[in-house]
Amino acid sequence: MKSIFIDEFFDMTSTTTSLKTNPNVSVDCVVFGFDVEGLKVLLIEQRPVGDTLGQLALPGDLVLQNENLDQSAKRVLKELTHLDGLYLKQFQTFGDPDRVSNVKDQEWLRNFRDDPAARVITVAYYSIVKMENYQPEAASFAGKIIWQPVDQVPDLAFDHNKIFDTALTRLREEFELKNIAFELLPEKFTLSQLQRLHEMVLGVDLDKRNFRKKLKMKTGLVALDEKQTGVDHKPAQLFKYKPRKHA
Amino acid sequence: MKSIFIDEFFDMTSTTTSLKTNPNVSVDCVVFGFDVEGLKVLLIEQRPVGDTLGQLALPGDLVLQNENLDQSAKRVLKELTHLDGLYLKQFQTFGDPDRVSNVKDQEWLRNFRDDPAARVITVAYYSIVKMENYQPEAASFAGKIIWQPVDQVPDLAFDHNKIFDTALTRLREEFELKNIAFELLPEKFTLSQLQRLHEMVLGVDLDKRNFRKKLKMKTGLVALDEKQTGVDHKPAQLFKYKPRKHA
DNA sequence: CAAACTAAGTGTATATTATACACTTAGTTG
DNA sequence: CAACTAAGTGTATAATATACACTTAGTTTG
């Protein structure tokens, strides 16, 4: 292995390639969760603190050497929250040199980065899940995990507010085009539940009849021979999605 | 400045942060060009070679320490091709560990990367310009620059074929929504020229009357008091865009 | 200078899609 | 059995998208 002084190493790179340097690269995951109360986002405390909650952030960590970006996002999310098997979509990469400036826990930050002098460029992913199917558990080294309503997101570490806002916009755009509601409802669900999902994600009210009219045109929905049970009103017809595959 | 052996440096990082490493981060630019012949893409030879053309690639280079990603894309494109002032849109980041494997010029590759052991993660941008307004000139250290028709793109270095295909798909999607045809036509242009532009980018034929009907609804187009000159048929009315701003 | 050529320019009818809107029905609860 | 709740259903109207062909203005050619 080459053996040179590290300051020489830096000099060498800076002479041959000017100011080029190796940044840290991370992935961050914006996981939206859906339940009866509405649309929420998964946030973590960067590490355990006492009684008051530490600064919150999106779950994220550095990319490892031999994994691709999609794999990295899956792994990081699983390590931090034990969530697995969800569909994560890459949507944008954030690389402002000072995006690290809003981290209050400087000790945590020094530990997070390989090289304290390096900046961190982050590749951002989003996903949306049904909360009751995906109950996160904090990793031992991490702090608390919370589901925060999307209209009450506090000041986050790094530029994570910007990342979150971008993700929500993109989620809504995608949602109007193709349904990415794979995991958002019980296996068997009613059309009203599906409509409420759309209303919550898009943040609008929809007309029941028009909503159902559009559904009829789209494929992918299968009526079952079953009815809803345990409700104090006329039970609704149950449906399921035609099975689809994800990597 | 810290002064330690570089192999120790690598060991240190690998013990404190497991397999984490600092990849190289680059930007790549997919610049589409439009002229009477159709839609083309800007490719460069990685460095000058003799009579036969070396392997082609999208223009790209490593990100510098104190620039954000958008700035980096602008700078790199300018350094390699002297193209400046175009609107570059980030669309996806590519980070497969082996995306470097299709580079035939290994010597060039060693020189390109800071650290030969590191992988290269690249943030990809696209743009579209009117070719006659933007005539690229190769940098002294680079090889030839060519405009290649989008349906005749050869085997490119890295995973640049994949990046190119993704860019073309995204360009077409964007183009149908909002017009990003800021720079694609002469300052004064006819509606037929505008229609041909759309047909070339989207790869379809459009109906003249319906095309114009839709145009009327959209703002941003201003009829001039002038007519086309120097054509061997009925001269067309000239139009211009309402001025718009880019960063 | 007339005929032939070229692309410009223009409107209507039809089909598709989006929206607005209110009552009846089936089951549950008290 | 009366009251309650959400399920379920259709039609009329508006907006948008598509299909389609002839006349016009200027240029070139014989």
The reply to whether B230 and B197 lie within a common domain is yes
Instruction: Kindly state whether residue B247 falls inside one of the protein's structural domains.
Output: no
What is each CA distance from A186 to A89, A132, A134, A181, A182, in whole angstroms?
Answer: 22, 9, 12, 11, 10
The tally of domains found in chain A comes to 2
Confidence of residue A145 (pLDDT cuts 50, 70, 90): very high
Residue A92's DSSP bridge partners are A124
Instruction: Kindly state whether residue A12 falls inside one of the protein's structural domains.
Output: no
Rg of chain B over Cα atoms, rounded to whole angstroms, equals 22
What pLDDT is attached to residue B12?
Answer: 37
By the 10 Å C-beta count (0-12 exposed, 13-18 middle, 19+ buried), A236 is classed as middle
Instruction: Kindly state whether residue A202 falls inside one of the protein's structural domains.
Output: yes
The reply to whether A53 and A161 lie within a common domain is yes
Cβ-defined contact of B65 to A13 (cutoff 8 Å): no
Residue B18, Ramachandran bin (φ over 0: left; ψ between -120 and 50: alpha; else beta): left
Residue of B7, B22, B101, B170 to mutate, interface with A, max A Cβ within 10 Å: B22
Instruction: Kindly state whether residue B44 falls inside one of the protein's structural domains.
Output: yes
| DSSP assignments along B52-78, one per residue | S---EE--EEEPBTT--HHHHHHHHHH
Rounded average pLDDT over B72-76:
97
End-of-domain residue from the set A146, A177, A208 = A177
Cβ of B232 near strand C (under 7 Å)? The reply is yes
Residue B29 sits in a domain of what CATH number?
3.90.79.10
**Nearest nt by C1' to A234 Cα:** C27
What pLDDT is attached to residue B142?
Answer: 76
Q: What is the complex's ipTM, to 2 decimals?
A: 0.82
Residue A34's DSSP bridge partners are A39, A130
Q: What domain range is B211 assigned to?
A: 191-241
Sign of CA dihedral A232, A197, A29, A154: negative
Confidence of residue B16 (pLDDT cuts 50, 70, 90): very low
Query: Does pLDDT of B69 surpass 70?
Result: yes
Cβ of A104 near strand C (under 7 Å)? The reply is no
Burial A193-225 (b: 16+ CB within 10 A, else e): bbbbbbebbeeeeeeeeeeeeebeeeeeeeeee
Residues of A in contact with B24 (CB under 8 A): 22
What pLDDT is attached to residue B87?
Answer: 86
**B222 close to B196: Cβ distance less than 8 angstroms:** no
Query: Does pLDDT of A142 surpass 80?
Result: no
The better pLDDT of the pair A88, B247 is held by A88
Q: Which residues of A touch B (CB under 8 A)?
A: 1-7, 9-10, 13, 16-25, 62-69, 72, 90, 92-97, 114-115, 118-119, 121, 123
Query: Does pLDDT of B135 surpass 60?
Result: yes
Query: Does pLDDT of A13 surpass 50?
Result: no
Burial B107-124 (b: 16+ CB within 10 A, else e): ebbeebbbbeebbbbbbb
Residues of A in contact with B65 (CB under 8 A): 19-21, 97, 119
**Euclidean distance between CA atoms A100 and A119, whole angstroms:** 8
Cβ-defined contact of A63 to B95 (cutoff 8 Å): yes
| DSSP assignments along chain A, one per residue | ----BHHHHHHHHHHHSTTB---EEEEEEEEEEEETTEEEEEEEESS--SSS---EE-SEEEPBTT--HHHHHHHHHHHHH---S---EEEEEE--TTTTTT-S-HHHHHHH-SSTTS-EEEEEEEEEEEGGG------TTS--EEEEETT----BSTTHHHHHHHHHHHHHHHHHHS---TTSS-SSB-HHHHHHHHHHHHTS---HHHHHHHHHHS--EEEEEEE--S-SSPPPEEEEEPP----
The reply to whether B143 and B231 lie within a common domain is no
**Euclidean distance between CA atoms B63 and A102, whole angstroms:** 22
The reply to whether A36 and A92 lie within a common domain is yes
**B114 close to B62: Cβ distance less than 8 angstroms:** yes
Q: Which amino acid is at A201?
A: V
Q: What is the mean pLDDT of chain A?
A: 84
Cβ of A232 near strand D (under 7 Å)? The reply is yes
Query: Does pLDDT of A1 surpass 60?
Result: no
Nearest CB to B93; choose among A10, A69, A118: A69
Residues of A in contact with B67 (CB under 8 A): 97
Instruction: Kindly state whether residue B96 falls inside one of the protein's structural domains.
Output: yes
Rounded average pLDDT over B11-24:
51
The reply to whether B170 and B72 lie within a common domain is yes
Cβ-defined contact of A95 to B65 (cutoff 8 Å): no
Residue bearing tokens 């794979």:
A182
Instruction: Kindly state whether residue A11 falls inside one of the protein's structural domains.
Output: no
Query: Does pLDDT of A182 surpass 80?
Result: no
Q: Which residues of B touch A (CB under 8 A)?
A: 1-7, 9-10, 13, 16-25, 62-69, 72, 90, 92-97, 111, 114-115, 118-119, 121, 123
How many Cα atoms sit within 13 Å of B245 on the Cβ side? Answer: 1
The better pLDDT of the pair A108, B177 is held by A108
**Euclidean distance between CA atoms A35 and B243, whole angstroms:** 46
What pLDDT is attached to residue A11?
Answer: 38
**Which residues have C-beta within 8 Å of that of residue B152, sequence separation ≥ 6?**
none
Residues of B in contact with A22 (CB under 8 A): 22-25, 114-115, 118
**Euclidean distance between CA atoms A184 and A193, whole angstroms:** 10
Residue bearing tokens 């810290």:
B2
Residues of B in contact with A25 (CB under 8 A): 22-23, 25, 95, 121
What is each CA distance from A152 to A136, A164, A216, B83, B132, in whole angstroms?
Answer: 20, 12, 35, 44, 50
Rounded average pLDDT over A141-161:
93
Cβ of B66 near strand D (under 7 Å)? The reply is no
Least confident of A114-118, A177-181, A213-217: A177-181
Q: What is the pLDDT of residues B24-36, one digit of tens each?
A: 999 999 999 988 7
Least confident of A4-13, A71-80, B160-169, B211-220: A4-13
Confidence of residue B13 (pLDDT cuts 50, 70, 90): very low
Percent of chain B exceeding pLDDT 90 equals: 49
Cβ-defined contact of A65 to B20 (cutoff 8 Å): yes
End-of-domain residue from the set B150, B177, B204 = B177
**Which residues have C-beta within 8 Å of that of residue A235, sequence separation ≥ 6?**
A227, A228, A229
DSSP strand pairing (A221-227 vs A237-241):
antiparallel
Q: What is the pLDDT of residues A44-61, one digit of tens each?
A: 998 777 777 789 999 999
What pLDDT is attached to residue B88?
Answer: 93
What pLDDT is attached to residue B209?
Answer: 96
The better pLDDT of the pair B11, B184 is held by B184
**Euclidean distance between CA atoms A162 and B105, whole angstroms:** 40
DSSP structural state of residue B236: P
End-of-domain residue from the set B177, B204, B226 = B177
The reply to whether A128 and A75 lie within a common domain is yes
Cβ-defined contact of B19 to A92 (cutoff 8 Å): no
| Smallest Cα distance from B242 to chain A, Å | 27
Q: Which nucleotides of C are covered by protein (CB under 7 A)?
A: 5-12, 18-22, 25-29
Distance between the alpha carbon (CA) of B30 and the C1' atom of D14, Å: 43
Instruction: Kindly state whether residue B72 falls inside one of the protein's structural domains.
Output: yes
The better pLDDT of the pair B77, A180 is held by B77
Q: What is the pLDDT of residues B218-229, one digit of tens each?
A: 877 889 999 998
**B83 close to B181: Cβ distance less than 8 angstroms:** no
Instruction: Kindly state whether residue A119 falls inside one of the protein's structural domains.
Output: yes
Residue bearing tokens 């792994």:
A75
Q: What is the pLDDT of residues B144-195, one digit of tens each?
A: 999 999 999 999 999 999 999 999 999 988 887 666 565 677 889 999 999 9
Query: Does pLDDT of A129 surpass 90?
Result: no
What is each CA distance from A136 to A33, A168, B239, in whole angstroms?
Answer: 11, 20, 57
Cβ-defined contact of B93 to A90 (cutoff 8 Å): yes
What pLDDT is attached to residue B180?
Answer: 58
The reply to whether B51 and B165 lie within a common domain is yes
The reply to whether A162 and A203 lie within a common domain is no
**Euclidean distance between CA atoms A232 and A244, whole angstroms:** 33
Rounded average pLDDT over A195-207:
90
Query: Does pLDDT of B54 surpass 70?
Result: yes
Residue with smallest Cα–C1' gap to C11: B209
CA torsion, ordered A99, A102, A104, A108, to nearest 10 deg: -10
Query: Does pLDDT of B10 surpass 50?
Result: no
The reply to whether B94 and B121 lie within a common domain is yes
Query: Does pLDDT of A236 surpass 90?
Result: yes
| Smallest Cα distance from B182 to chain A, Å | 24
Of A31-40, A190-199, B154-163, the range with the highest mean pLDDT is B154-163
What pLDDT is attached to residue B8?
Answer: 36
What pLDDT is attached to residue A244?
Answer: 59
Closest CA to A184 of A60, A29, A36: A36
The reply to whether B78 and B139 lie within a common domain is yes
Rounded average pLDDT over A128-135:
85
The reply to whether A207 and A127 lie within a common domain is no
What is each CA distance from A244 to A181, A183, B33, B57, in whole angstroms?
Answer: 11, 11, 38, 36
The reply to whether B126 and B222 lie within a common domain is no
Cβ of A234 near strand C (under 7 Å)? The reply is yes
**Euclidean distance between CA atoms B8 and B34, whole angstroms:** 52
Cβ of A218 near strand C (under 7 Å)? The reply is no
